[in-house]
Structure 1
Amino acid sequence: MSTSPSGRRKKDAHQQHSSSTADSETPLRPLQQQRQPTSYYGERKAAGGAISRLKHHQHVHHLHFVERIRHFTWTWFTMTMATGGVANVIYHVPEGYRFHGLYAIGCIFFILNLVLFLFNLAMISCRFWYYPETFRASITHPTESLFVPAWVISLGTILINITEYGTGHAGPWLLHTMCVLFWVYCVLATVFSLGIYLIIWSTQHFTIAQMTPVWIFPAYPLLVIGPHASVLASKTAGYTALNIILGGFVFQGIGFMVSLMIYAAFIYRLMTQKLPQESLRPGMFISVGPSGFTISGVVGMGQVLPRVVPATFMGGDGQLAGKVSMIMANWMGLWLWGLALWFFFVSVGAHWSTVRHGRAKFAMTFYSYIFPNTALTSATFAIARALDYNRPITIVACVMTGLLVCAWGAIFSMMVHAVVRKDILWPQKQEDREEGGWKTQAGERRVCDLDECPSETSPPLGGGSKSDSVLSRPAVDMDGAVDERMEEDVEKDVARRRQRNSSGASPSSAAMRFVDEIVRSSGRYSRGAEDMV
């Protein structure tokens, strides 16, 4: 039966309208409706172009504020650790080396630390409120779990700063309150230190090649008890001060001995596996902290002992026992000071290649440049006091204090810049990233790496008149998202399927089935792309 020319035109227009409608509704289906490529190059172009379109469709370059909160990890509390440490160092600058306004600068760091601590608490609470599953994940993740005690350490530095800057201005009630909070903190530090180590030992499997000084971090809450006890005991008297000193020695000894045993594993790791990779080397400064805090605490408590020991202390002459204890504390501090300096210079030397090649990329662990070195600086001031305020050592400590303040300002500005550039608070950019057997949690959006992502000005996806021209271009001309390895895989697989289907099946249909299999099975593509298919 013949058809009139006008009828054929209406039928062609109806078919064209149906094809364009299908283009707009299912972006990948028009590939199967186009003219079947008969050449090998056309087949490769169709398959590679579809893969490129699928990869480009999943590019996500922006996240809402609430989505970025999901990646607010415990490492942010290293910022408050460092800020409180700087305030503590400024307080310990001795008379004769202070200038007018130095106390005010210390108060500014102290108040700023309180503000930043409340900010961190609010942000981490929002993270767990909006994403409840991240709480359990944060204490079982192989890296982030090591930093859970950071908030306890931050609390410890705040208590030290309150004792230093507040007790002399607020009356005796604050001093009594700090004595109570000292024992509360001792219990809290012990519980968290034991708890985190038990969780790690129960859920994680580390090798010596993975060892870094960050393994010491769960012991850090115990390491700040000694310095706190020395400052608090110097402001109290009698049995109250003596009990604080005795408690400080016990808990400081636990923290240092645990750290000392982990030191052995760290040295063994360096001897067998060389230095850690550049991104992990800031954590090497954590090895400076245990010795530094122990020196500051032991020497400080030893200097208070002769004033507070009773006459019958330890069954003998109390005054003699106090002086002997002070001398022993001074020699012990001097002995450990050398160990702290040794780890400091090892950590500095390990950064030579990083600085020379400019490979350092900001992470919150950069605050490891500050907090452990505040312990070394406070220890240097303590050694200078033990040696009758040795002038050269005191000058070195004052120079270190100035450098720490400058370094804190530089790292804080780098942190703000990194937030703007999406180097932190971003998927796969912080300590909650995928590593080992740890995978991204369900419901988390996949975003592309902004450093390696192709240009956002790639040709748009769409139906209608532009879809044919986009689909007809090779993948590398579209957006460069298909690398040489993927193109080779496409070519090899298409060649095998052409040979397998040479009996009569269209070679292009084999490529189409291959693309469909990639769409259905590849776990690298976003949920949105899978829904689109």
Structure 2
Amino acid sequence: MSKTPLPIMQNRDDDDVERGDMWSTGQSKMHLPWQRPYATGTPLPGSPERHRSLDDSAQTSEADLNGNKILLTLKERVRHFVWTWFTMTMATGQLANVILTVPYEFHGQYAIGSIFFITNLVLFTFNVTMISLRFYWYPSTFKASLTHPTESLFVPASVVSLGTILTNITEFAVGNGKSGYWLEQTMVILFWIYCGLALAFTCGIYLVMWSTQTYTISQMTPVWIFPAYPLLIIGPHAGKLSSRVAPETALPIIVGGFCLQGIGFMMSLMVYAAFLYRLMTQKLPKESLRPGMFISVGPSGFTIAGVITMGQNLPGCIPENFMGVGQMAGTISLVMANWMGIWLWGLAIFFFITATFAVARALDHCRPIRILGCVFTCLLVAGWFFVFGMMIRAVILKDILWPQKQEDRDEGGWKTEESGLSTTASRSQAQQQYPEGSSRRQAGLLSAD
């Protein structure tokens, strides 16, 4: 019996192009009817890029087809608004605090800090709105964001942003004669609420990681420290707040701040050990991940600022028989806090912005260190504008808020489901030229009997 070969290629008519529901392999115009696009706009392995919006069936121009352009609506882009956007509000809030604590006062210092504070409130509202829309329009992404091996690490960034705002309010409004007693008591209540929230989020995210993910030492990065960050800003917040409230209220805040700051720092210290082991056995991370190494110096910097500030406030709020020695306990605690801050400063040598002014106060306002802190503050402000501008540029160039571009991208064995389509192929499929369920005969590349 003679074998009649099936046609290798089929011509596409104009209606196919106008519907936008077919795939093109460039100049060959090969029609592969069994191929289906990913919901995120990423083609299957061995397939060309998609030429239309995920939900848009409008006509697609020939220029778009030749240029392999992908058109996503605003709603589709919001799907990829991930938790890492809250690191923007973390940085902006901390910048407002740094400006206000510059030791050399200048005209407009409070106004400039207030501008960054208000900007941070606007950005935080924007982040909450956008991520709420993401979860409202795509409910499945909420659970996915909590269990994704990378995105879940940044969930606490939202809590840290909230804590930073509380610290800003304490710094700019409490105890300066511009607010009443009601705000002071409100901030004390919010401080304790934040402590419970930070502890719950830190323990919860680590529990999710340990129960749903399997990591190897070669995958280790300092980002593993990030879930402990909500606890790490409690110390600095307690130090600021305790200096602006009554002594009988300040003492519990300092004791609680020391305790929770210690939990966060010790957890970070244990992750440090894993990171050093990873460096010894796997060498440095690849180039694109190396900037993340600076995350590892953050815990020491926050702990320095918190411990020294709380230690300086302690002598003024302890009762007569505190720990059986009264005021002597406050003096000893002050000296120990200063020495501990200097010791940790060596570990956080690259984290001058947060820690330098605190160390300068411990060294009787050491002039060289204060000048160094001012220089780094200027660099921090310039860096903030640069990074914010590059972030806007990345949105325009579709480097972020885009499928497979941010922390919600497919990695390892992680898969995200959307509209019944898997957004990533399994490793076995990735090694094949054609997806599972297809055949070379269906593609018209084999002859039939």
Pairwise same-fold verdict (TM > 0.5): yes
SS of 1:50 mapped into structure 2: coil
Runs of 4+ in 1 over 6 A off after TM superposition: 45-48, 51-54, 444-447
Q: 1:425 aligns with which of 398, 401, 407?
A: 401
Q: 2:443 aligns with which of 515, 520, 528?
A: 515
Instruction: State how 1:342-381 maps to structure 2 within 5 Å.
Output: 344=350, 373=351, 376-381=352-357
User: Which residue matches 2:339?
Assistant: 331
- The Cα of 1:322 is off from its aligned counterpart by 0.7
Q: 1:67 to 1:242 in 2, by over 3 A?
A: same
Q: 1:515 to 1:103 in 2, by over 3 A?
A: same
- The Cα of 1:130 is off from its aligned counterpart by 0.2
The answer as to 2:30 corresponding to 1:50 is: yes
Q: 1:82 aligns with which of 91, 94, 100?
A: 91
Question: How far apart in 1 are the matches of 2:297 and 2:412?
Answer: 28
Could you tell me whether the CA contact under 8 Å between 2:87 and 2:161 is conserved in 1? yes
Instruction: State how 1:62-461 maps to structure 2 within 5 Å.
Output: 62-94=71-103, 97-167=104-174, 168=176, 169-316=178-325, 318-341=326-349, 344=350, 373=351, 376-443=352-419
Question: How far apart in 1 are the matches of 2:187 and 2:411?
Answer: 42
Question: How far apart in 2 are the matches of 1:121 and 1:127?
Answer: 10
Q: TM-score, normalised by structure 1?
A: 0.69
Instruction: State how 1:12-23 maps to structure 2 within 5 Å.
Output: 23=13
- The Cα of 1:205 is off from its aligned counterpart by 0.4
Question: How far apart in 1 are the matches of 2:377 and 2:135?
Answer: 37
What code does the residue aligned with 1:388 have? D
Query: How big is each residue's C-alpha offset from its partner over 1:270-297, in whole Å with a ceiling of 9 and x where there is no partner?
Result: 1111111222222111111110000000
What code does the residue aligned with 2:50 have? Q
Query: How big is each residue's C-alpha offset from its partner over 1:326-347, in whole Å with a ceiling of 9 and x where there is no partner?
Result: 0000000000000001xx3xxx
- The Cα of 1:59 is off from its aligned counterpart by 3.1
SS of 2:394 mapped into structure 1: helix
Per mean C-alpha deviation after superposition, the further-off stretch among 103-112 and 126-135 is 103-112
Question: How far apart in 2 are the matches of 1:409 and 1:130?
Answer: 32
What code does the residue aligned with 2:74 have? F
What code does the residue aligned with 1:222 have? L
Could you tell me whether the CA contact under 8 Å between 2:415 and 2:422 is conserved in 1? no
User: Which residue matches 1:350?
Assistant: none
Q: 1:196 to 1:56 in 2, by over 3 A?
A: closer
| Structure 1: segments with no counterpart, 5+ residues | 1-18, 28-44, 345-372, 448-484, 491-510, 519-533
Q: 1:401 to 1:24 in 2, by over 3 A?
A: closer
Could you tell me whether the CA contact under 8 Å between 1:72 and 1:425 is conserved in 2? yes
- The Cα of 1:25 is off from its aligned counterpart by 5.9
| Structure 2: segments with no counterpart, 5+ residues | 1-9, 18-24, 36-46, 53-69, 424-430
What code does the residue aligned with 1:117 have? F
**Higher RCO structure, 1 or 2 (CA under 8 Å, sep 6+):** 1
Instruction: State how 1:468-507 maps to structure 2 within 5 Å.
Output: none
- The Cα of 1:136 is off from its aligned counterpart by 0.3
Question: How far apart in 2 are the matches of 1:331 and 1:186?
Answer: 26
SS of 1:513 mapped into structure 2: coil
Could you tell me whether the CA contact under 8 Å between 2:225 and 2:271 is conserved in 1? yes
Question: How far apart in 2 are the matches of 1:127 and 1:515?
Answer: 38
SS of 1:332 mapped into structure 2: helix
What code does the residue aligned with 2:373 have? A
User: Which residue matches 2:42?
Assistant: none
What code does the residue aligned with 2:239 have? S
Structure having the higher Rg: 1
Question: How far apart in 1 are the matches of 2:225 and 2:106?
Answer: 36
Could you tell me whether the CA contact under 8 Å between 1:145 and 1:196 is conserved in 2? yes
Q: CA RMSD in A?
A: 2.8
Question: How far apart in 2 are the matches of 1:159 and 1:245?
Answer: 16
What code does the residue aligned with 1:50 have? M
Identity %: 63
Could you tell me whether the CA contact under 8 Å between 1:71 and 1:432 is conserved in 2? yes
What code does the residue aligned with 1:411 have? V
What code does the residue aligned with 1:331 have? W
Q: 1:517 to 1:213 in 2, by over 3 A?
A: farther
Could you tell me whether the CA contact under 8 Å between 2:144 and 2:416 is conserved in 1? no
Question: How far apart in 2 are the matches of 1:282 and 1:57?
Answer: 31
Question: How far apart in 1 are the matches of 2:312 and 2:113?
Answer: 24
Query: How big is each residue's C-alpha offset from its partner over 1:129-182, in whole Å with a ceiling of 9 and x where there is no partner?
Result: 000000000000000000000000000000000000011212111111001100
Q: 1:80 to 1:517 in 2, by over 3 A?
A: farther
Question: How far apart in 2 are the matches of 1:46 and 1:136?
Answer: 38
SS of 1:230 mapped into structure 2: helix
Could you tell me whether the CA contact under 8 Å between 1:47 and 1:512 is conserved in 2? no
Could you tell me whether the CA contact under 8 Å between 1:227 and 1:297 is conserved in 2? yes
User: Which residue matches 1:358?
Assistant: none
Could you tell me whether the CA contact under 8 Å between 1:47 and 1:515 is conserved in 2? no
- The Cα of 1:24 is off from its aligned counterpart by 5.2
What code does the residue aligned with 1:229 have? A
Q: TM-score, normalised by structure 2?
A: 0.81
Could you tell me whether the CA contact under 8 Å between 1:71 and 1:430 is conserved in 2? yes
Question: How far apart in 2 are the matches of 1:234 and 1:59?
Answer: 60
How many pairs align? Answer: 389
Could you tell me whether the CA contact under 8 Å between 1:214 and 1:283 is conserved in 2? yes
